């Protein structure tokens, strides 16, 4: 009788020349185990908010600097820091944590322009880019540049001023770092733009200068749910890759003839998924 | 080595599908919804590839289709689980 480990991973007469872990019922079990593990991670997040989370040190000045570098590269004039827009960005970030949402418009219908107007900034054009869960400012700006709508917002030549806020907090039980980027040009006419959607018209009034600094984010070293999920996903992909590799080697070495899917194809598919799991970035832009 | 050489075009097509998915995932990093769509498309194309490949090889059976579907399901669930 072959050792159970051998029949689990190696083609053998006792497993009909196919590793048991690659049998359809084993794949179903693997799917069940994966979902169970993910549910435990999600339940932990729900029951113990803050146990798993993400917090990063992103310098708002660096976000502005990188934004201006991208604007210069695109032949667009740079934007100047405006304390009112900084305050508006800060208020928006605080509102998202307070009301537990991640969106341009709050569940109660509050639009980004509300925070800009409240800060005393009288805008002609205004726009907002959001990001969360990034670990550094370079990745934030890169992600905005990779998204056509955010890129359009970031490189809009109508904007003359900028405000950025970085804030740590908890949304839906998960600790996270939010980056809010507000663009504006003060006075006279019209539009407001959230992730590059031009919408409305607002009459400009006298700007009211407000001096406010963006506080530096506090670092909270916690275990990121994204990292834990990535490890959990990778464990399954590596396990299947290992079993497929052994299967391919043994079938090839001993010229085993059997009714089965193409092991090389499965290997290609799962090798691709392993690469995808490694390159998926943590942050989200909105 | 005969079989892999005979199927080299099939394998190149599959490699191209997987490579394209990787490039698209990289391009759309930060947009999880788009990435989910890419993974679902990749899984469907993988099943289609499997069916066509075994049809060509005259070895297509229900159990083989089930195998491709289950591998595609496991793969897509594992990656989409990260994109939630």
State whether B77 and A34 contact (CB < 8 Å).
Answer: yes
| Identity of the residue in B10, B50, B73 whose CB atom sits nearest the CB atom of A261 | B50
Can you tell me the ipTM of this complex? 0.94
Residue with more model confidence, A149 or A49:
A149
Is the Cβ pair A281, B29 closer than 8 Å? Answer: yes
CA closest to B64 among chain A residues: A261
For residue A161, the tally of other CB atoms under 10 A from its CB is: 20
Task: Please tell me the distance from the alpha carbon of residue A237 to that of residue B75, in angstroms, as a whole number.
Answer: 8
Q: Which residues pair with A174 in a beta bridge?
A: A171
Range 28-67 of B in CB contact (< 8 A) with A:
28-32, 35, 39, 42, 46, 49-50, 53-54, 59, 61, 63-64, 66-67
Q: How far is A192 from chain B (nearest CA, A)?
A: 23
pTM (predicted TM-score): 0.66
Measured between alpha carbons, how far is B61 from B70 in angstroms, rounded to an integer?
14
In this prediction, residues A85-91 reach a mean pLDDT of 94
Output the six-digit token pair for A136.
Answer: 């550094």
Residue A220 has pLDDT above 50, yes or no: no
Round the average pLDDT of chain A to a whole number and report it: 81
Whether the Cβ atoms of residue A125 and residue A190 lie closer than 8 Å to each other: yes
Residue with tokens 């066509």: B52
Nearest CB to A229: which of B31, B66, B81? B81
pLDDT in tens, A221-261: 455 667 788 899 999 999 999 999 999 998 888 777 777 88
> Do A275 and B42 count as a contact with CB atoms less than 8 A apart?
no
Is A202 a residue whose pLDDT tops 90?
no
Per residue in B27-71, pLDDT tens?
887 778 889 999 999 999 999 999 999 999 888 999 999 999 999
Higher confidence at residue A136 or residue A183? A183
**Residue A236 and residue B78: Cβ atoms within 8 Å?**
yes
State how beta strands A123-132 and A192-194 pair: parallel
Point out the residue among B29, B70, B81 whose CB comes nearest to the CB of A27: B70
Annotate A80-121 with DSSP letters as a single string.
EE-HHHHHHHHHHHHHHHHTT--SSS-TT---HHHHHHHTT-
Using alpha carbons, select from A32, A260, A50 the residue that is nearest to residue A173: A50
């Amino acid at each position: 009788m072959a050792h159970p480990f051998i029949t689990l991973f190696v083609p053998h007469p006792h497993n009909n020349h196919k590793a048991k872990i690659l049998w359809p019922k084993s794949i179903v079990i693997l799917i069940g185990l994966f979902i169970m593990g993910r549910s435990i991670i999600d339940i932990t997040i729900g029951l113990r908010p803050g146990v798993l989370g993400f917090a990063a040190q992103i310098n708002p000045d660096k976000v502005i600097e990188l934004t201006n570098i991208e604007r210069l590269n695109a032949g667009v004039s740079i934007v100047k820091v405006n304390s009112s827009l900084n305050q508006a960005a800060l208020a928006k970030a605080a509102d998202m944590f307070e009301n537990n949402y991640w969106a341009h418009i709050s569940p109660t219908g509050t639009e980004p322009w509300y925070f800009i107007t409240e800060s005393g900034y009288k805008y002609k054009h205004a726009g907002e880019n959001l990001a969360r869960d990034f670990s550094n400012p370079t990745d934030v700006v890169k992600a905005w540049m990779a998204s056509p709508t955010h890129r359009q917002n970031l490189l809009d030549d109508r904007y003359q001023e900028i405000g950025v806020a970085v804030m740590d907090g908890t949304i839906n039980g998960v600790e996270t770092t939010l980056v809010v980027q507000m663009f504006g040009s003060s006075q006279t006419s019209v539009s407001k733009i959230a992730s590059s959607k031009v919408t409305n018209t607002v009459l400009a009034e006298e700007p009211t200068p407000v001096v406010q600094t963006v506080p530096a984010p506090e670092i909270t070293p916690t275990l990121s749910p994204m990292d834990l999920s990535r490890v959990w996903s990778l464990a399954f992909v590596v396990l299947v890759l290992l079993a497929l590799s052994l299967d391919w080697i043994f079938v090839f070495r001993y010229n085993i003839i059997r009714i089965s899917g193409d092991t090389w194809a499965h290997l290609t598919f799962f090798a691709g998924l392993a690469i995808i799991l490694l390159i998926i970035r943590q942050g989200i832009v909105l | 080595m005969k079989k892999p050489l005979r199927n080299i075009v099939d394998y190149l097509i599959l490699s191209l599908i997987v490579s394209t998915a990787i490039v698209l995932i990289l391009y759309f990093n930060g947009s999880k919804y788009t990435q989910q769509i890419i993974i679902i498309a990749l899984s469907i194309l993988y099943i289609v590839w499997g069916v066509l490949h075994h049809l060509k090889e005259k070895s297509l059976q229900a159990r083989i289709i089930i195998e491709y579907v289950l591998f595609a399901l496991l793969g897509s669930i594992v990656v989409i689980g990260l994109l939630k």
